[in-house]
Every structure is written in structure tokens, then in C-alpha cells.
Amino acid sequence: DGGITQSPKYLFRKEGQNVTLSCEQNLNHDAMYWYRQDPGQGLRLIYYSQIVNDFQKGDIAEGYSVSREKKESFPLTVTSAQKNPTAFYLCASSIETGPDTQYFGPGTRLTVL
């Protein structure tokens, strides 16, 4: 899991609530990513950021929002508009976009009650 931390490890949310997942890296990486993992489906890209104050939608951005105010931080907000938010969320970073390896954090498991 290297120098990427995610918190909390487990998160429970009531329907209709927004929640924010934290991702911090001390690797001095420019690029950061958020993925969603569901059983049997691999990982799907939610958002990515190539540089501070810039981010782009991935394949499944609806119902999610992000910010990138600092190089080391890329928080993900799961809004009430996300219809099926229960999943395992993984943050990753790489030196830059391109063929560089993406390194992953330990993940946050979100459960909607």
C-alpha cells in the first residue's frame, strides 16, 4: 500500500446522506485516481486528476464529486445522487499519467444502510 492512506477503512451511510472518503499520498505523485470495485467486475474509474486544481471524469462519475486543492490530497464525495454506492473504493496515484505504474491505497468499504 506504500505511501497512500485512505480513511476511514469502513464507512456506513444512511440513504440520502453525502459522505467524503479521504485519500492522502506522500509519494510526491502528480496524478491521482479513484476507482470503484464491485465483486466480479474488476475496477472502474470514477475520477482522475493529473495535476492540482484539475480533475476529469472517468467512466462512472455520476453521483460522485472530487477536489484537488493540494498535491497530496484527493478526497471523493459520494453524494445522495449515487443510486448504488455500496462498494469498495480504491484510491491510486502515479508519478504522472502515461505508462507509469499506478499504486493503490488500502481502500474504504462503504455500506449504505
Interface residues toward other proteins, by CB under 8 A: 1, 4, 6, 31, 33, 40-43, 45, 48, 50, 56, 58-59, 88, 90, 92, 97-99, 101-107, 109
> By the 8 A CB rule, do 15 and 113 touch?
yes
Q: Which is nearer to other proteins, 85 or 107 (CB)?
A: 107
Minimal distance in Å, beta carbon 57 to other proteins?
Answer: 11
Minimal distance in Å, beta carbon 4 to other proteins?
Answer: 8
Q: Which is nearer to other proteins, 17 or 111 (CB)?
A: 111
Q: Which is nearer to other proteins, 19 or 31 (CB)?
A: 31
Minimal distance in Å, beta carbon 16 to other proteins?
Answer: 27
Neighbours of 22 (CB within 10 A): 15
User: Which amino acid is located at 32 in the chain?
Assistant: M
Of 27, 28, 34, the C-alpha closest to 61 is 34
Residues near 39 by beta carbon (within 8 Å), at least 6 away in sequence: none
Minimal distance in Å, beta carbon 110 to other proteins?
Answer: 13
Residues near 29 by beta carbon (within 8 Å), at least 6 away in sequence: 93, 94, 95, 96, 103
Q: Which is nearer to other proteins, 43 or 52 (CB)?
A: 43
